[in-house]
Structure 1
Amino acid sequence: MTPTKAPEAPARRARQTATPVVNDDPTDDVDATSTVEFGPWLAQGAELRVSKWRAGRGFYAPAHRGAPTSTRQAEVLNTAAIAAPTDEEGVVIGEDRLSRTLVAGDPFTAYQKGLISSPNVVVVGDVGAGKSSLTKTVCVLRVLPLRRRRVVVFDKKDQGGRGEYTSLVERNGSTPIFFSLDGSEKRSIINLLDPAIVLGAGLGRTLDLLRAVAETVAGRGLDDWEMEALRRALRMTMTWGESAGRAPTLVDLAAQLPRVHTTRDELSPAARERLHQSAATVMFVLSGLLEEFSGLFDGETSKAIDLSDRLTSFDISQLPATGPAAPMVVAAANMWLMGVLRRRRGWFTNVLAEEGWDLIGGANGALWRSLIKLARGLGVSMITNIHKLADIPKSSPAYAIIQEAQTVHVFRQSRAEDQAASIEAFNLESSAGGSLGSLTTGDHLYKVGSNAEVRVRHVRTPWEIAVTNTDEAMTENGRGQA
């Protein structure tokens, strides 16, 4: 009897793939050339839906692929990373370590879908754990090509006399906004009374900015009399600016302080004297600021400070690593930015603060938190990159800012106190502490809203590796690899 020939399996449909990615972790035990197991992530990119009509309108999206097990079944494998993989909407982040599927996310998309109530992001972990690589890639490079998206970076890390984002900004055809105290001709000035701040943010928030700056310099809070003196001086200075036909500066404000007690009101002679003394104290503080930080706040805002480019960098890397200079510039630039955005709506903006604790700590914390509330209505996602979470006082505004963020990337933390602080601040699974101390570079726990955290491996293309690695990657050799 002649055996019947089995029918041939129908040819599988050719598939469209995304940009190839590489796993640049030398400690990873996954062999990209192995034919024993062919997981979704080992293919040359994630499989995409194929539709010419939808593709022509920008609706590329990864096809849904099944996970090797269900979330409920996987609970026994890793109770600290059991969330279902994210959907295809958003910016690609990397690979879900459990299901080996693509992970994507975007705070603006999640906000619009009602998954979160705040678009702000916190990235936390040890130095060298992969925080900067993720923010440069996911929050900057992969965002810039999107429609009506822009990125603003406060670049604090010194790399050969300039900020670490300088080459990235120059690649994008922009020039960093440079701040320095050394008298460089390239340095910029930001006016604390710039019209973008006063008109865009209002007199109330302008007063908050002046208070934060004065308290940062003084090293203490202003009392009620000193605040009243500052408030009166601000009103008098703005009136003087209107009559003079130009934007007033901090120098003009300092000149008005000795006159605040001369205004006509019902103050008693004793109260006038108390106000006069308080105004003199504030004047000495501001005069000291103008002298010590000459070239930062003592003039009109430089023309270089502009928001016309998709990628804007405030290079504060050459300001003193400690002290009030960098936090004050960031506070002023942030206020200026919010003022500009109120007049230029319709864009989504990522505002990234590298080494965020240095910038949002102290007197700037309360101001930064108020700006975050304002930012939500302006299409702004505030992204704060920090380490040593346990060192941040729980009573501080900075800690409140961290807790209010609803998109979190938690990288390796070697200190037990930082692991415990992350579990508490971000409501992670209690068993996550053990894994946080052993995460390899690039691996992290990714949490959105009230969803359980997912363990993710951040993955970059060869070009992204060339332009986001620190040190050599920002040199001519790095460009040659791009």
Structure 2
Amino acid sequence: MIGQDDSRLHTAVLVGPEGERRRARKARRQAAAKVETDARRHRKVQARAKWEAEQAERRNTSYLPPAGEAGPAALRTPGRFRLPKHQDTSATLAGQYPFLAEAGLGNQGVFVGQDLYSGGSFVYDPWVLYQRGLITAPNVVLAGIVGSGKSSLAKSLYTRSLPFGRRVYVPGDPKGEHTAVAEAVGGRAIILGHGLRNRLNPLDEGHRPSAVSDAEWAMQVASRRRDLIGALAETVLDRPLSPLEHTAIDLALRDAVRSAEVPILPMVVDRILSPNTADDEDGRLAEDGRLVGHALRRLVAGDLQGLFDGPSTVRFDPSLPMVSLDLSRVAENSTLISVLMTCSSAWMESALSDPAGGQRWVIYDEAWRLMQYPALLRRMDAQWRLARHFGIANMLIFHKLSDLDNVGDAGTAMRALASSLLANAETRIVYRQEPDQLGSTALALGLTGTEQKLLPGLGTGQGLWRIKDRSFVVQHQLHPAELAAFDTTGRMTSDSHEFRNLDVRSGIPNDRRDS
């Protein structure tokens, strides 16, 4: 018994403290719950007091009715408030809205100069604008009277494009203005004219594009040669060829190719005038091609001889940064210029059609002289229509847009082709124009009345740029080195300088009179 009581006592001693700890934890939990409940009740009391204060403030505040006060306090007139319309110039309104300006074309491309409306830099690049979807045709039309600065702009556009990997082709330079530029940028100017050693064989194969099979290349060369001789004959005859004349040319060219790997024009002329008996079954082929033969004979034995009557002494190198055909030595003969342009266009066509040729500028200077010949105009139109396919940007340079009136008669195919060149150019740059040219210029380019009034007052190097539906007035800026290289007034300034140094009475230079 004693042992059992001691055991119970020992158990009570062990269990007692644990029960006290449970009661303490329970008490602490209850105390914490009471504190949280009191805090929550206090917050609710504060929120209710704040809400009651806001409600009391709203009840004590008076507001105007939604429709305003009635009676004289409304400060209203019986009629509606109206303001008269006001019109003013953009220069005056710019003071009222000084921060509104055209956003520009972005900063990617070739720097041209300053946008005179926004004051910012003006940058232009037809390939960049085409990639961004701002234009769909990369061709450019540039017009301006003599001394307005259009030639400097054209030279700046294509020379500043060279560091971007572009190349420049000038298929005809009647004044020789681009020769110095071509030599300065590491290119080449091919000078043709009577008395010079340079000779151009229009039947050369030309540059062979990459990834073209032998069979395809042979067909392209044969087709280009036929088209070229036909175009040369049409240019000299100043009329389209008949089917019989086309046949005479085709048979003569085929016979010449059989006898020489690279035929020359005298071979074709001889075979047109004296055809092969195997080709002339009825004996009438010589009569059919007689006029064509004598027309082409002018290029080998007549007044146009010496330039096309032998193998080429110059080569067209499409890898050069710039190639220009200088026609200044034959500028007095418009027929010879058109023939040379036709030959050079055929030269360049194979290079332009090369998919690996890259992006290129093709410059048509003094376009009014070049567009007078149907064969050449058709070649230009084809290159303009395929500009995106070839990756080229054509530039047509005029003095005035009324020069297009000299291209064929109204309603003829030639006039339609000339007009299509403007339609396929979404960049139109107009420099200063004479007042009597404003109507025709505005009509040809679709200018607004405000744009038309700007043209007579433009200064040197200032031009109106119409890029699709957007307009800019830009001041072209030149580096001093560019100004010296692009100068087209050297003879005028040098002559005037010498004249100023002459003594009026004796004609002796003033700096030499004492001696």
Shared fold (TM-score, shorter chain, > 0.5)? yes
- Rounded to whole Å, the distance in 2 between the matches of 1:284 and 1:108 is 45
Find the partner of 1:150 among 167, 185, 200.
167
Q: Secondary structure of the equivalent of 2:123?
A: strand
SS where residue 112 of structure 2 aligns? strand
Deviation at residue 172 of structure 1 after TM alignment: 2.3
**Amino acid in the other structure paired with 2:353:** R
Q: Partners of 1:293 and 1:302 in 2: how far apart?
A: 17
User: Equivalents in 1 of 2:155, 2:291: separation in Å?
Assistant: 43
More helix by proportion, 1 or 2? Answer: 2
Q: Out of 478, 481, 485, which is 1:463 matched to? A: 481
Mapped pair 1:307 → 2:315? no
- Computed over aligned residues only, the root mean square deviation of the Cα atoms, in angstroms, reads 3.0
From 401, 414, 428, give the equivalent of 1:389. Answer: 401
Query: 1:303-342 to 2 correspondence within 5 Å?
Result: 303-342=314-353
One-letter amino acid of the counterpart of residue 379, structure 2: L
| Alpha carbons 1:130, 1:442 under 8 Å: kept | yes
Q: Map 1:12-27 onto structure 2 (within 5 A).
A: none
Shift of 1:447: 1.7
For 1:297 and 1:87, the matched residues in 2 are separated by 47
* Distance (Å, rounded) in 2 between the aligned partners of 1:411 and 1:201: 41
- The answer to whether 1:109 aligns with 2:128 is yes
Q: CA deviation at 1:339?
A: 0.7
**Which residue among 288, 291, 294 is the counterpart of 1:278?**
288
Residues 383 and 295 of structure 1: CA distance in aligned 2, closer, same or farther (over 3 Å): same
Q: Distance in 1 between matches of 2:181 and 2:475?
A: 23
Contact between 1:129 and 1:411, CA under 8 Å: does it hold in 2?
yes
- Segment drifting more, 130-139 vs 425-434: 425-434
Secondary structure of 1:409's counterpart equals: strand
Change (3 A) 1:155 1:362: closer
CA contact (8 A) 2:171 2:344 kept: no
Cα distance in 2 for partners of 1:199, 1:296 equals: 25
* Counterpart AA for 1:361: Q
Distance 2:478 2:287 in 1: 59
Residue 232 of structure 1 corresponds to: 251
Report sequence identity in percent.
Answer: 30
CA offsets per residue over residues 235-282 of structure 1, 9 Å max, x none? 3333x15xx3x21111121122246585569x8x5xx63x43221111
1:195-274 alignment, distance < 5 Å: 195-196=205-206, 202-238=221-257, 240-241=258-259, 244=260, 246-258=261-273, 262=277, 269=282, 273=284
1:454 to 472, 480, 487: 472
1:379 and 2:414 correspond? no
TM-score between the two structures when normalised by the length of structure 2: 0.67
Instruction: Give secondary structure in 2 for the equivalent of 1:446.
Output: strand
Cα 1:433–1:199 shift into 2, 3 Å: farther
> Match for 1:412 among 391, 411, 432?
432
Which residue of the other structure, out of 417, 422, 427, is the alignment partner of 1:402?
Answer: 422
Q: Which amino acid aligns with 1:170?
A: E
CA contact (8 A) 1:212 1:367 kept: no
What's the CA shift string for 1:394-445, capped at 9, x where partnerless?
64223322332122211111042x3223222222224322211221111111
Offset of residue 386 of structure 1? 1.0
Candidates 284, 295, 298, aligned match of 2:306: 295
Is the 8 Å Cα contact of residues 91 and 105 (structure 1) preserved in structure 2? yes
Q: SS of 2:252's equivalent? A: helix
For the 8 Å contact 1:403–1:425, the answer to whether it is kept is no
1:361 is paired with a residue whose SS is: coil
1:161-213 Cα distance to aligned partner (Å, 9 max, x none): xx2233322222344211011x223xx22222111278595544433322222
The correspondence for 1:356, drawn from 367, 370, 377, is: 367
SS state at 1:123 partner? strand
Shift of 1:109: 1.6
Cα deviations across residues 26-56 of structure 1 (Å, max 9, x unaligned)?
xxxxxxxxxxxxxxxxxxxxxxxxxxxxxxx
For 1:219-244, what per-residue CA distance to the aligned partner results, in whole angstroms no more than 9, with x for missing partners? Answer: 22222322232233333333x15xx3
Cα separation, partners in 2 of 1:237 and 1:114, compared to 1, 3 Å: farther
What is the aligned counterpart of 2:105 among 68, 76, 86?
A: 86
Q: Mapping of 1:156-195 within 5 angstroms?
A: 156-158=173-175, 163-181=176-194, 183-185=195-197, 188-195=198-205
CA shift, 1:154, in A, is 4.2
Q: Tell me the CA shift for residue 391 of structure 1.
A: 2.9
Partners of 1:344 and 1:407 lie apart in 2 by: 24
SS in structure 1 at match of 2:329: coil
Is the 8 Å Cα contact of residues 200 and 339 (structure 1) preserved in structure 2?
no
Return 5+ residue gaps in structure 2 as ranges: 1-88, 95-100, 208-216, 495-515
The whole-number CA distance in structure 2 between the counterparts of 1:201 and 1:131 is: 37
How many Å separate the matches in 2 of 1:329 and 1:95? Answer: 38
Instruction: Give distance in 2, aligned partners of 1:410 and 1:74.
Output: 21
Unaligned runs of 5+ in 1: 1-72, 477-482
Q: Quote the offset at 1:348 in angstroms.
A: 0.9
C-alpha separation between the residues in 1 aligned to 2:435 and 2:221?
43
- Indicate the larger mover: 123-132 or 317-326: 317-326
Looking at structure 2, the residues matched to 91 and 473 of structure 1 have their Cα atoms a distance apart, in angstroms, of 30
Q: Which amino acid aligns with 2:457?
A: S
Q: TM-score, normalised by structure 1?
A: 0.72
| 1:317-356 CA distance string (max 9 Å, x none) | 1113342111221221122112134346141111112212
CA deviation profile, 1:437-465 (whole Å, cap 9, x unmatched): 221111111122x3222111111222222
Aligned-partner Cα distance in 1 for 2:291–2:93: 63
Q: For residue 156 of structure 1, what is the amino acid of its counterpart? A: D
Q: Which has the higher contact order (CA 8 A, sep 6+)?
A: 1
Shift of residue 150 of structure 1?
0.9
- Residue-pair matches, total: 381
For residues 375 and 193 of structure 1, the distance between their equivalents in structure 2, rounded to whole angstroms, comes to 25
State how far apart, in whole Å, the 2-side matches of 1:75 and 1:463 are.
35
User: How far has the Cα of 1:155 moved from its partner?
Assistant: 5.6
Change beyond 3 A, Cα 1:214–1:321: same
Q: Distance in 1 between matches of 2:385 and 2:248?
A: 27
